[in-house]
Chain A
Amino acid sequence: MTRLIVHAGTEFVDGGTVLADLVRHRETLRAGGVLIPHRSDLAAWRELSAGLLRAAPATMALLTEARETGADALLLGSDLLADALTSPDAAARLAALAREEDLDIQIIVVVREQVGYINQLYCHRVLSMETSRNLAQFAAQAVPAHRFDYVASFGAIADTAGLTLKAVPFSDLVSRGAGRCVVEAAGLDAGLAEQVAETRLAVPRLPGPVLIEAVRLLHKRFRWLNAFAEEGKSRLRDLTGQLALAAAEAEWDTTEYWGWSPQQAQAVQEEYAEGNDGFAQFVWGTSWPEEWGTGQQERIDLADLPPKVLRQVITTVEDFADRAILLPSGQA
């Protein structure tokens, strides 16, 4: 039986550091009996990992290579795979693969406390023009539906014969190194884990509250102008980046966005605390180890801005909205 280890990352949790560590130590891992994909780019890893669910030829070829070269394990990973694993039939597909290919499949997920995670994911979603909702609405309408509930997301995997669920707390990636944590969680040789203890995850800096509101306004203006349909989202996302530069140049923000009020943060904690503890008991046999994210609320109401800043925000956003419809395609 061959071991298949799958690091199923959640967007904006490991930030690509797991992959970076594994690629950097490809030869060390190989010497330790662990095969990883030959290519180093994120897209290839994503494709190979997602291919497990549909037995894609490239993925199956790598599995065959692992067998034929006598590797003890094949290690795949993707920073986005966790979303795919929450689909209703994902566990059944992986179980079928385990049966058909005689595999021992380990799924390793990285889990993070939800208060800081939702705040960070929200910032990303706003800046990438995926949402113009406020933070509370965004959290309440998570996509996929159980994104922030680890029991609901990964319970089916834990309950399926042939699959083993392992988990790594996000704070460990920060304090102990990303690749090391995954190798340790997979139960691989401790010496091997020491050797890949390279990158400690740095939590990325968040955008400022004025920029967040400015992008939300720009999003609403684009919708009014029907720009998403006429120009395409990717082109408009470029404008968001330019707006961020304009915001930095004008020094709109001196703080990072933290959208939760203390009461809202408390409500999020209460919503997820029991599930987190249940999940932690199942995977680690301990209580939930992650400390909740905290912060003073740093979100703004446009009408409360200093007048000059409000004027800049509205006129700048209007200028960017005009650019989206006035410039020829590709020059936004």
Chain B
Amino acid sequence: MRRLVVFIGGSRSSASTFQRTLARSLKQVAGAGVLVPKAGRRANKPTAVSHQRLANPKDSSWQDLRAEVDQSPADTVLVMIPGLLKGDDSHARHEAVVHCMSGVADEIVVASVVTDQLGLINEQYLHLIANWRTSARLENDAWKLATNDTYVHEYMLRPWYRDSAVRYVGVPSTDYTAGNPVQAVLSAAGVETPDLGEAVPPPATLGPRGVEANRLLTTFLRAEAPGFKPDSPKVAAMSKAALTRADHMGWCARPFWGWTTSSAQRAADRFASSNHRFATEIWGTDWPLPVEVDRPCTQIDFLDLDFEVVDQIQNYVLNTANRVAVRLGRSA
């Protein structure tokens, strides 16, 4: 009997940590009788262990996967498809994906990490800030983010845990981050492995100073490089390079937490009942994850910083904006 374990992520950092850790532990995982197939990986990034192409049920990589699995003696197949964590997928598409999975193995286990929404939104905010997509404070963007259904676990995961053809496994983020994430997912799916070592840390994220610098930069860019689109590949590459510079400046050292107590409480209230229903249905318990309503906010004001840091940030803003404007060829 063959088992297919599909890890669909849960948050940006959990997917990233899983992918980096899995890439490092491929030999140990294979030694435990688990196949991490080559099929489904993006053609331009064959070394990346995410099987993103499998998110599309019509993709030919499903046929490749079946062929690869048939030739392998492994009892367990592990794939990572973050693209399947989509609550708005059509029923037909969901059915098609499950049908594809059924063609690979006898048992299908879909696993995701379950994180509390304050942490998820804080993480998403950092992503938007780092990619120059917002210049608002989390406090001001919180409702826009908190009213998004993608943070409601019931909405996002119900297609999986209500599907009788699939066994859904929710891994609480506290378990996931306590040790090796690949091991945590496999263990939750009922696959025993030897010790896979420590997790690979996730990529650097902006700290309070970096957030403030990027907020200022994003607003400045809208004037300095009118019409700049954060989505464009050129700008995305530049924002990535800017994140590296911010890291070198030491602006990623301190963790960022943008919630104030009052806004965190409002958001926590919004999610409490659906989290309770979700936990009851999945784990048969109350919501087990800490909700950090009282965690101190670390969002700062640019002009409250020391003059040395103000100078660093101003130089970062002016230099980066200049680079972007020149690169885009439309300086104001």
| A311-B223 contact, Cβ under 8 Å, with A301-B137, A301-B301 | yes
Chain A residue, CB-CB nearest to B303: A216
Q: Which of A221, A223, A302 contacts B216 (CB 8 A)?
A: A302
Quick check: A134 and B220 within 8 Å, CB to CB?
no
Q: Map CB proximity to B onto A245-271 as digits: 1 under 8 Å, 0 otherwise.
A: 000000000000000000000000000
Quick check: B302 and A223 within 8 Å, CB to CB?
no
Give CA–CA (A220, B301) in the complex, Å. 13
B80 interface residue (CB < 8 Å to A) = no
B135 interface residue (CB < 8 Å to A) = yes
B58 smallest CB distance to A (angstroms) = 43
A1 interface residue (CB < 8 Å to B) = no
Q: Map CB proximity to B onto A193-230 as digits: 1 under 8 Å, 0 otherwise.
A: 00000000000000000000100110011011000000
Give CA–CA (A185, B266) in the complex, Å. 52
Name the A residues within 8 Å of B314 (CB-CB).
Answer: 221, 314, 318
- How many chain B residues touch A (CB < 8 A): the figure is 26
| A220-B303 contact, Cβ under 8 Å, with A303-B216, A307-B223 | yes
Q: Which of B136, B310, B311, B318 contacts A304 (CB 8 A)?
A: B136
Name the A residues within 8 Å of B310 (CB-CB).
Answer: 217, 220-221, 224
B195 interface residue (CB < 8 Å to A) = no
B118 interface residue (CB < 8 Å to A) = no
A114 interface residue (CB < 8 Å to B) = no
Quick check: A314 and B318 within 8 Å, CB to CB?
yes
A174 interface residue (CB < 8 Å to B) = no
Q: Map CB proximity to B onto A48-60 as digits: 1 under 8 Å, 0 otherwise.
A: 0000000000000
A221 smallest CB distance to B (angstroms) = 7
Quick check: B307 and A223 within 8 Å, CB to CB?
yes
Quick check: A310 and B137 within 8 Å, CB to CB?
no
Chain B residue, CB-CB nearest to A263: B262
Name the A residues within 8 Å of B304 (CB-CB).
Answer: 133-134, 137
Give CA–CA (A279, B218) in the complex, Å. 50
- Chain A, range 294-332, C-beta contacts under 8 Å to B: 301-305, 307-308, 310-311, 314, 318
B239 smallest CB distance to A (angstroms) = 16
Q: Main SS of chain A's interface residues?
A: helix
Quick check: B223 and A310 within 8 Å, CB to CB?
yes
Quick check: A224 and B311 within 8 Å, CB to CB?
yes
Quick check: B216 and A310 within 8 Å, CB to CB?
yes
Quick check: A303 and B307 within 8 Å, CB to CB?
no
Chain A residue, CB-CB nearest to B135: A303
B269 smallest CB distance to A (angstroms) = 19
Chain B residue, CB-CB nearest to A136: B304
| A305-B307 contact, Cβ under 8 Å, with A311-B224, A314-B314, A314-B317 | no
> How many CB-defined contacts (below 8 Å) exist between A and B?
64
Chain A residue, CB-CB nearest to B262: A263
| A221-B307 contact, Cβ under 8 Å, with A134-B301, A301-B137, A304-B136 | yes
Name the B residues within 8 Å of A86 (CB-CB).
Answer: none
Quick check: B303 and A303 within 8 Å, CB to CB?
no
Quick check: B219 and A305 within 8 Å, CB to CB?
yes
Give CA–CA (A302, B223) in the complex, Å. 14
B263 smallest CB distance to A (angstroms) = 13
A17 interface residue (CB < 8 Å to B) = no
Give CA–CA (A132, B307) in the complex, Å. 10
B222 interface residue (CB < 8 Å to A) = yes
Name the A residues within 8 Å of B38 (CB-CB).
Answer: none
Quick check: B223 and A308 within 8 Å, CB to CB?
yes
Give CA–CA (A305, B219) in the complex, Å. 8
B212 interface residue (CB < 8 Å to A) = yes
Q: Which of B140, B220, B301, B303 contacts A310 (CB 8 A)?
A: B220
Chain B residue, CB-CB nearest to A213: B303
Quick check: B307 and A220 within 8 Å, CB to CB?
yes
Quick check: B218 and A224 within 8 Å, CB to CB?
no
Name the B residues within 8 Å of A310 (CB-CB).
Answer: 216, 219-220, 223
Name the A residues within 8 Å of B332 (CB-CB).
Answer: 311
Give CA–CA (A223, B307) in the complex, Å. 7
B302 smallest CB distance to A (angstroms) = 6
| A303-B219 contact, Cβ under 8 Å, with A314-B317, A314-B318 | yes
Quick check: A303 and B308 within 8 Å, CB to CB?
no
Q: Map CB proximity to A onto B295-307 as digits: 1 under 8 Å, 0 otherwise.
A: 0000001111001
A267 smallest CB distance to B (angstroms) = 14
B215 interface residue (CB < 8 Å to A) = yes
Quick check: B222 and A307 within 8 Å, CB to CB?
yes
Q: Which of A137, A221, A302, A311 contacts B302 (CB 8 A)?
A: A302
A263 smallest CB distance to B (angstroms) = 9
Name the A residues within 8 Å of B317 (CB-CB).
Answer: 314
Name the A residues within 8 Å of B308 (CB-CB).
Answer: 224
What 3 pairs across the A-B complex have the smallest Cβ distances? A307-B223, A307-B222, A303-B215
Apart from A223-B307, A305-B219: 16 A-B pairs, beta carbons within 8 A: A132-B307, A134-B301, A134-B304, A137-B304, A213-B303, A217-B303, A220-B307, A220-B310, A221-B311, A224-B311, A301-B302, A303-B219, A303-B302, A307-B222, A310-B216, A311-B220
A interface residue numbers (CB < 8 A to B): 132-134, 137, 213, 216-217, 220-221, 223-224, 301-305, 307-308, 310-311, 314, 318
B interface residue numbers (CB < 8 A to A): 135-137, 140, 212, 215-216, 218-224, 301-304, 307-308, 310-311, 314, 317-318, 332
A–B complex contacts, Cβ < 8 Å, 10 sampled:
A132-B307, A134-B304, A301-B301, A305-B219, A307-B220, A308-B223, A311-B220, A311-B224, A314-B318, A318-B314
